Amino acid sequence: MADLWYAIVAGMLTVFVLLDGYDFGAGILHRWVARTEPERRRVLDAIGPFWDGNEVWLLAAGGALFLAFPRVLAAGLSGFYFAIFLVIWCLIGRGLAIEFRSHVADPLWRSFWDTVLVATSLLLALFFGVAIANVVRGVPLSADGWFSLVLFTDFSARPPVGILDWYTVLVGVFAVAALMVHGGTFLAMRTDGDLRDRARWIARWKLVALTIAWPFVTWATAAVRPEFFAAFGSRPLAGVFVALAAAGVALGYFGLWKGRDGVAFAGSTGFIAGLLGATAACAWPALLHGVPHEAASLTTANAAVPDATLRGALAWYVPGLLLAIGYVVLLARLHRGRVRGGDYGGHA
């Protein structure tokens, strides 16, 4: 039962990255792809019906973690205290930028909030990539399951570790590139004209850079945590997810170069889902890997609540999940197609 909830938490975090990820990517690209005020309005119209609902999946994943693995959530909130505050401030800033920019019809006002949107979207993509890298690399867990991290030490990725080192920064930059591709394919699918063409162009060349960087990030992970891939051969699900990521890259190339925007978006979705799924499969059963003492790791065996609690929670989780999926599907159907200025929100 604990392993099932591990999969649930990993799945909800993946859904959050997939859904809010295209919002982050569109935000990063906002000033690159949109050259005029009507085009900038259309970028916001493209993500407008979705962005706030997509963030709920992060809260839902945190709630599932609190229910099933409270020791992990407590240790993570304490150890990543400073980083979590940065994430919260960026989430607030991004929401303010989207909602406030059109309340005053002044170019300086709008330019300021556009810059805030780009900066916060970029930082959020970077922070979440760095967070995943910290979980993969490991954190200095004590015998009683607590840790604290400074911002950085010597950037070597060897104990004593900090939040930032060469490996976590590398993964953070890789995450930014991946979400730029995801956001670019989303904007290409949701817009038209010059705006769509610019989004396609950026997504194409970011995908090329991503393809080149992928083997280097994989090598870096093996170098920082050699045992991470040790069980790969005995976990067929990890291989399935890697194949999904590779297929996503192929679909991305096909869709972007053939003008099939929906296919390209499906490709970026498959790539991100495959990478996160493979990471979760290789990391199992550890939720927080301890360094330098692996025995201190928090796992599905020593961090989960009793099975009876997990079974009871599952009875409530299933209908809640179905409602959430239904909401996402309904929203996608109501707002399908390409946006043309002023389609959403009523903010002139």
Confidence of residue 100 (pLDDT cuts 50, 70, 90): very high
**Max Cα distance, the chain (Å):** 60
Residue 347 lies in a domain: no
More confident residue, 228 or 26: 26
CA dihedral defined by 253, 254, 255, 259, rounded to 10 degrees?
Answer: 110
pLDDT of residue 336: 84
Q: Do the Cβ atoms of 137 and 166 come closer than 8 Å?
A: no
For the beta carbon of residue 124, count every other beta carbon within 10 angstroms: 25
Residue 41 lies in a domain: yes
3-state helix, strand, coil in the chain (%, to 5): 75, 5, 20
Residue 344 lies in a domain: no
The residues, ordered by sequence, that sit 6+ positions from 7 with a Cβ below 8 Å of its Cβ are 280
More confident residue, 174 or 342: 174
pLDDT of residue 145: 87
The residues, ordered by sequence, that sit 6+ positions from 132 with a Cβ below 8 Å of its Cβ are 171, 175, 276, 279
Residue 342 lies in a domain: no
pLDDT of residue 157: 87
Q: What is the mean pLDDT of residues 237-245?
A: 95
- pLDDT per position as a tens digit, 290-304: 998 888 999 999 999
- Which residue has 């409530």 as its token pair? 316
pLDDT of residue 345: 43
pLDDT of residue 347: 42
**Range of 41's domain?**
2-334
Residue 73 lies in a domain: yes
Residue 343 lies in a domain: no
Say what percent of the chain tops pLDDT 70: 98
pLDDT of residue 151: 86
Is the pLDDT at 223 greater than 50? The verdict is: yes
Confidence of residue 233 (pLDDT cuts 50, 70, 90): confident
pLDDT of residue 169: 97
Residue 340 lies in a domain: no
pLDDT of residue 346: 40
pLDDT of residue 13: 96
Q: Output the six-digit token pair for 200.
A: 């396609």
Range of lowest pLDDT (123-127, 175-179, 230-234, 269-273): 230-234
Our count of domains for the chain comes to 1
Is the pLDDT at 188 greater than 90? The verdict is: yes
For the beta carbon of residue 348, count every other beta carbon within 10 angstroms: 9
Q: What is the mean pLDDT of residues 257-282?
A: 96
Residue 346 lies in a domain: no
- Which residue has 């599905």 as its token pair? 300
pLDDT of residue 249: 97
Q: What is the mean pLDDT of residues 71-99?
A: 93
pLDDT of residue 341: 56
Confidence of residue 228 (pLDDT cuts 50, 70, 90): confident
pTM (2 d.p.): 0.93
pLDDT of residue 242: 95
**Average model confidence (pLDDT) for the chain?**
92
